[in-house]
């Protein structure tokens, strides 16, 4: 992941994710849209055959784009762990029945 700050807008950065695709971009965009400290978030896939996307994030003054992206990533990881645990529990209950 690379981060470049945008000089034309305050508290704005573009994060470039390599070896990832639209799926992660859409998940991050949707998660960031729920965050209280963001002003603008969008993701862009330059070409569907290339595994890369850009995520543009603009935040309010009291926080940085990096902070909200890290918080969104941690939130997604927590959701995936919870989903995995629920699936394992349901699978084991089904197997015992």
- In tens, the pLDDT along 22-75 reads 899 999 999 999 988 889 999 999 998 999 999 999 999 999 999 999 999 999
What is residue 20's predicted lDDT score, i.e. its pLDDT? 92
Gyration radius of the chain over CA positions: 17
Answer whether 48's CB lies under 8 Å from 92's CB: no
Domain limits of the chain?
A: 2-96
- The pTM for the full model equals 0.85
- Give the mean pLDDT of 74-92: 96
Q: Which CATH architecture has domain 2-96?
A: 2-Layer Sandwich (3.30)
DSSP β-bridge partners for residue 17: 53
What is residue 8's predicted lDDT score, i.e. its pLDDT? 85
What is residue 96's predicted lDDT score, i.e. its pLDDT? 84
């Amino acid at each position: 992941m690379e981060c470049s700050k945008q000089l034309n807008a305050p508290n704005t950065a573009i994060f470039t994710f390599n070896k990832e695709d639209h799926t992660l971009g859409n998940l991050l965009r949707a998660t960031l849209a729920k965050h209280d400290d963001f002003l603008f978030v969008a993701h862009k896939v330059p070409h569907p055959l290339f595994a890369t996307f850009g995520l543009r994030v603009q935040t309010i003054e009291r926080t940085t784009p990096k902070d909200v992206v890290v918080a969104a990533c941690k939130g997604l990881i927590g959701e995936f762990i919870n989903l995995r645990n629920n699936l394992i529990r349901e699978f084991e209950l089904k197997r015992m029945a």
